[in-house]
Structure 1
Amino acid sequence: MRYAQGGGLTDAGRGARERIRLGAVERFGRGEKNRGIAAALRVSERSVERWRRAWRERGEAGVLTKGSPGRPRLGPKQISMLARELACGPLTHGWAGQRWTPARVKTLIGRLFHVSYTVEGTWRLLKRHGWSWQQPARRAIERDEEAVELWKEEVWPRVRAPTGPRPVRCSGSTRQPWRRPRP
């Protein structure tokens, strides 16, 4: 494999790939065959075919880099604006409940900035800027502490599994075939 798999390229990496494509363009102009170009540049013939097609259709501009394929990013001003909006709470933005979920934040980002993130990308954005998952600051108002203690004392011991020694099983089959006694 000529190029590393499983990750985006830096600007320098994209530039190196572009130089290889431009080298192929020079060879196209000289009339070289795809197989020879692929061997000389150590790339696949399929890539050379694709580059030749782009070169025929759009010229040298067809093989130039298109830039980073990454997701659109929010700038520092947008991040601070997002932080202010998150501080207002989900109710302010029309959601029932007091929790921000990544899906809700994704929708909010789309509404505010017209930028589309995936739910996973939204979660990464939040983590990168110091946000974490929310935990309720207090217990539910409806919680009955006496009922909880009663359940712990009376019901839980009956529900919980017994704590005795477990039966030992031999390796092999867990079921032994039934054998008829010999006469």
Structure 2
Amino acid sequence: MRYVQGGGLTAERRQFRERIRCEAGERFTRGERTAVIARDLRVRERSVERWRRAWWEGGMDALATAGPPKLPKLSDDQFAELEEELALGSAEHDWEDLRWTLARIRVLIAFRFRIGCSMAAVWRLLHRHG
């Protein structure tokens, strides 16, 4: 699955792509043509051109993975704390009814962890953790 649990490539997939870029980098040093590299690695020529430009400007280090595009707002430990707070119920947090809404969870995150986030980010966080 490309976007596991709602966000980005898996670490294994990022490493796989990095290996392909590094293999292309080794072939750049041998002076191979872009079209040949693209055909052999089964990628688009445009990608190989972009990698070649990065390699020319920054060497092999420029072809390394940059990591996930965006880290989650809450760490696993913080999410565990959030789960405990949610288990207490919304009445424990001075709301009259017993429903947890995205807006209320957003307020709880802001109060408890001093982290501001949108309701969409709260939804993604909850979805990511099942």
The answer, yes or no, to whether TM exceeds 0.5 is yes
Unaligned runs of 5+ in 1: 92-96, 131-183
Could you say which residue in structure 1 is the equivalent of 2:51? 51
Change (3 A) 1:31 1:46: same
Aligned partners of 2:77, 2:46: CA distance in 1, in Å?
Answer: 44
Unaligned runs of 5+ in 2: none
Change (3 A) 1:22 1:113: farther
Q: TM-score, normalised by structure 1?
A: 0.52
- Identity, in percent, stands at 47
Aligned partners of 1:129, 1:38: CA distance in 2, in Å?
Answer: 38
Residue type at the aligned position of 1:49? E
The CA deviation at 1:51 is: 0.7
CA offset digits 1:136-171 (Å, max 9, x no partner): xxxxxxxxxxxxxxxxxxxxxxxxxxxxxxxxxxxx
Q: Secondary structure at the match of 2:68?
A: coil
Could you say which residue in structure 2 is the equivalent of 1:27? 27
Q: TM-score, normalised by structure 2?
A: 0.68
Looking at secondary structure, tell me which structure has more helix per residue: 2
Q: What root-mean-square deviation, in Å, do the aligned CA atoms of Structure 1 and Structure 2 show? A: 3.1
Q: Per chain length, whose mean CA-contact separation is higher, i.e. which structure has more relative contact order (CA < 8 Å, sep 6+)?
A: 2
1:89 aligns with 2:93: yes
Judge conservation of contact 2:20–2:41 (CA < 8 Å) in 1. Answer: yes
1:114 aligns with 2:103: no
State the structure with more CA Rg: 1
Aligned partners of 2:52, 2:94: CA distance in 1, in Å?
Answer: 52
Aligned partners of 1:129, 1:29: CA distance in 2, in Å?
Answer: 44
Judge conservation of contact 2:18–2:65 (CA < 8 Å) in 1. Answer: yes
Could you say which residue in structure 1 is the equivalent of 2:61? 61
Aligned residues: 120
